[in-house]
Structure formats: C-alpha cells, structure tokens
Amino acid sequence: MMQNDSLTDVMVVTPLDEEWRTYRKALGGKLRERPISSVVYYLSTLGMSGSGPLRSVVGASMGEMGIGAAGIFATTALELWKPAVVVLLGIAGSLNRKDIRLGDVVVSTDVYGYEVSSVRGRINRFEFRKTCDVSSPALLARLRAIRNDERVYREWQNECLGALEPPLRRTARPPEMHFEITASGNSVVKSTTFVKTLRQQIDPRIAAVEMEGKGLFGAVAKAGSSAKAVMIRGISDYANGRKSSLDKASKGAWRRAATSNATRLLRRLLESELLEFPAKARVEMRLDDTPTVMRRHGLLLDRKGAQNFVFQLLNLPSVPIALDVRVVAFRGTTPVKPARSVCGVMGDDRTVLLSRCDDSDTPDVSRFSLTRNDRVDSSNVTLMLAFDRDELNPVDRIEVTCRDEFDRQLSHRWRA
C-alpha cells in the first residue's frame, strides 16, 4: 500500500481546455467546481470495480501548452492538493506510424525533456540539450497488469470503439496500449527532419512527442513530493507535415478520440483493486470529566453542571476542502441536541474557531460547516459538546459523521 501524507488520491492535469472537456465527458459522473485563484478545479470520486473505498480525484485544465506553463501550474496544484498520484493526460504525436497508430495510447516509461541548445550551419543543424524523468514503477506495473488481463483489455478497446465519433468508425481499429519513451519540448513537431535529429542525438527509441511532461515531472521532483507521477497520452497525429491537414480533415475528431481513449484507460486504472491508497482522516473520541478544556474555550455552561464531550477529528483534508460535520446524540432512544457546542483548532496559546453549530434542516441533528482557511495550519480539529446534566437520563450515545466535498465519509460512534 502506498504510504504518504497525501490529502487527495489523484490529481489529473490536461494541457488544453478541449482535452479537459473530452476527459470530463469520457470520465462521466458528477464533478464539483472549486475555483481557487485563477484556476477552476473539479472534484469527483471514482468507485472501485469491486467493493471498496472511493478514490478522490481533483482535476483541472492548464489552459495553455508548454513546459514552463506545466511546471508553474503543477507546482501550485501539488502544494494545494497534495495528491498521492499525479496524471498528465492529453494527446501526443507518434514517431512510429507503423506500430503506434491514431487513437492508440502511449504510457510514458521515460520522459526526455529537450531544448534546442544551438542551430548551426546553412541547413539548420539542431543540437539538443536533454534531461530525463521516469514514470512511477508502481503505476507502470499496475497499467501493465491491465494490458496483460485479456478480458479487461478487450473491454477497454471495445468501449473506446463504441465512443468514436461517426466519421472515424468506418476506418478505426481497436486502440492499443504502448509503453514507450517520450520526448517533451516546447515545439509543436511537424517535421520529419526535426524528428530524425531528435532521435539521433537523444535516443533512437523515442516513440512519441508532446510538450508538457518535462514541466510536470520537474515540478514533482522539485517539490520533494511523495506523489507518484505518470503520463498517459492518446495519439492524435504522426508529428509530420500532414499534422494540420489531418486535423482539418477529421475536424479534430482524432484529437478528441485520442484523449477519450486515454481517459478510459485512466478510469480502468483508478477503478482497479490493484491501485491502493493510504487511509485518510479518522475520528477519535475522548471524554473530559473535568471542565478544564471547556472552560478554557468558553464552552462551559453558565448554570451549574454539564455533561461534556470532546471529539478529535484527525488527519482531515486541508485547504481547500470544505467539510460537513453532523452530530446526533441520544439519551436512551431519544435524540437530543447539545446546549452549547463549538468546533475549532484548539491550542494552549491560541484558538481558531472554525464553526459554531448551524441550524440543521433535520431535527435533533447538530451540523457544523467547516471551511479551512489560511489561519489554520493544523489537520486536526476538536469538536466539543456540552449537554445539560441529567443524572437519571444522561447522554449515552453519540454519532459523528464527517463528509467532505469528494463525498467521502468517515464516522465514529460512541456508546457509554
């Protein structure tokens, strides 16, 4: 099982808005918008193919191409969402027309970042400077497991064929998955001469070209993140002089098919039981027989005597995920609301109040809406409840349920 301090299971990034629209359509399900600064992130969950927990997925479009844009975007998103897995998803050009065809999907094993260091001579001889990043071996192994499962692989191929736009259905063949070396640079490659030089100087095994991988992998490395990164690209062209005419003839259908096929493969990966994520938040509880904690934070009832409870919500998702906390308490079989309650980050030297009890739309339910902000740097929240004391009929059962914007739920039940 993956062990890290992630707050989100998966982050998916697409370079352009068209790729993002295709990704959303192919992924399906409900997405929740979360605008932050100049970026709109989308939150969703995916269930495993069998029984098991939901995977939390956050995604966004960069809105522009290039290594620099990818690096800046990924640096901010990594810090914000702290994902366990990062996926760069989009389109690429194939350098092996015979074996890697339109609509196929390339999973990058190695990503060579390149830039033109000099152009010499009257025939414009290119000289390249390179770097190299490697996709997560664990993710590659899980994707290979999909490729080696004949039933799952055929289901993916048939699903992709069924989703093709009508103009492509007459000539398309089932897409294939390839594990290949990819080159990443700031050039839209449309030249066989450029490709030949690139492969001669860097690696003759380069099978596809794209424009953002170097930036994203570099951001993951520089951030010191424990996130596992992989790049999944659908083939939309052959990186030659016919790129523009192919696009025009198909009216962009091959671009959309390539992204759709890559998305459907990613969904198979995320729904697979082979992919495991660490447990996130949990709720613990302790009883405070003395009113010290309650008095310190002004929660102690004015009248004499109270029945006090302190819950600890630990390892909660941090900024920017909002939380909905609901509490139901019982005296025997009768629900009862606390006389006073508060929820916040409690410390010896400071208190940050996150929420007092809101009016609930359900009788006898105490509800707290928590939105983390810049003043809160703790992932642990304290929930304190005070009930009027009734010696003959004390509170003997409390249920706490916490749900985040991914619709993930955790709960704790206490019984006397």
Q: Does residue 293 sit in the same domain as residue 375?
A: yes
Give me the chain's average pLDDT, please.
80
Give the CATH number of the domain where residue 289 resides: 2.60.40.10
Q: Which DSSP symbol is given to 50? A: S
The reply to whether 127 falls in a domain is yes
Domain membership of residue 338 (yes or no) is yes
Decide: 320 and 404 in contact? Cβ < 8 Å: no
Provide the domain count of the chain. 2
* Cα separation, 2 vs 276, whole angstroms: 6
Q: Are residues 307 and 373 in the same domain?
A: yes
Is residue 302 domain-shared with residue 339, that is, in the same domain?
A: yes
Q: Provide the token pair at 222.
A: 């520089």
Give the pLDDT band (50/70/90) at residue 98.
Answer: very high
Q: Does position 2 have pLDDT exceeding 50, yes or no? A: no
Domain containing residue 120: 8-271
Lowest mean pLDDT across 140-149, 185-194, 207-216: 185-194
pLDDT band at 89 (very low <50, low <70, confident <90, very high): very high
Same domain? 90 vs 191: yes
- Residue 243 and residue 241: Cα distance in Å, rounded? 6
Which residues have CB under 8 Å from 401's CB, separation 6+? 325, 326, 327, 409, 410, 411
| pLDDT for residue 237 is more than 70 | yes
Instruction: Give domain status of residue 120, yes or no.
Output: yes
Picking from 236, 271, 306, the residue at the C-terminal end of a domain is 271
Contacts 24+ apart (CB under 8 A), 128-135: 128/197, 128/198, 128/201, 128/202, 130/201, 130/202, 131/214, 131/218, 133/213, 133/214, 133/217, 133/218, 133/221, 133/229, 134/109, 134/110, 135/107, 135/108, 135/109, 135/110, 135/111, 135/229, 135/230, 135/231
> Would residue 277 count as lying in a domain?
no
pLDDT band at 17; cut points 50, 70, 90: very high
Residue 1 lies in a domain: no
Of the ranges 36-45, 261-270, 308-317, the best mean pLDDT one:
261-270
CA distances in angstroms from 272 to 24, 47, 154, 268, listed in the order given = 19, 9, 15, 6
Checking if the pLDDT of 8 tops 90, the result is no
* Final residue of a structural domain among 271, 298, 313: 271
Residues 243 and 373 placed together within one structural domain of the fold: no
Per-residue pLDDT averaged across 13-33, rounded? 92
Q: Give the helix ranges, DSSP H, for 28-180.
A: 67-81, 137-148, 150-163, 166-169
Where helices occur in 149-252 by DSSP H, the ranges are: 150-163, 166-169, 192-201, 213-222, 243-250
The residues that bridge with 177 in the sheet, in sequence order, are 105
* Same domain, residue pair 261 and 381: no
Q: What are phi and psi of 142, to 5 degrees?
A: -70, -35
Residues 289 and 214 in one domain: no
User: Which residue shows structure tokens 């070396």?
Assistant: 181
Residue 289 burial class via C-beta count within 10 angstroms: exposed 0-12, middle 13-18, buried 19 and up: exposed
Question: Is the pLDDT reported for residue 400 higher than 90?
Answer: no
Predicted structure pTM score: 0.77
Look up residue 301 and give its amino acid. L
| pLDDT tens string 326-382 | 788 888 888 887 777 766 665 544 445 555 555 555 566 777 666 655 344 455 667
Residue 292 has pLDDT above 60, yes or no: no
- 325 in any annotated domain: yes
Q: Do 261 and 320 fall into the same domain?
A: no
Select from 237, 271, 305 the last residue of a domain.
271
Are 233 and 363 contained in the same domain? no
CATH number at residue 176: 3.40.50.1580
Residues 382 and 287 in one domain: yes
Q: What is the mean pLDDT of residues 105-109?
A: 98
Q: Give residue for tokens 């103009």.
A: 167
CA-based R_g, the chain, Å: 26
pLDDT at position 285 over 50: yes
Residue 179 lies in a domain: yes
Is pLDDT of 263 > 90? yes
d(CA 85, CA 87): 7
Q: What's the pLDDT tens digit per position in 299-336?
A: 444 445 677 777 777 665 554 566 677 788 888 888 88
Place of tokens 């906390």: 325
Q: Which residue has the higher pLDDT, 2 or 296?
A: 296
Q: Which two tokens stand for residue 125?
A: 């001889």
Instruction: Give the integer Cα–Cα distance in Å for 352 and 110.
Output: 46
276 assigned to some structural domain? no
pLDDT value of residue 202: 92
Based on the fold, state whether residues 241 and 308 are members of the same structural domain: no
pLDDT digits (tens, 9 = 90+) for 246-257: 888 889 999 999
In the prediction, which pLDDT does 68 show? 94
* pLDDT exceeds 90 at position 67: yes
Instruction: Tell me, yes or no, whether 74 and 194 share the same domain.
Output: yes
> What integer pLDDT is reported at residue 348 of this predicted model?
46
Percentage of the chain lying above the pLDDT 90 cut: 40
Which residues face 41 on adjacent strands?
Answer: 34
* Contact assessment for residue 237 and residue 92, using Cβ atoms and an 8 Å cutoff: no
Give the pLDDT of residue 134: 94
- Average of per-residue pLDDT across 219-225: 87
Greater confidence (275 vs 21) lies with 21
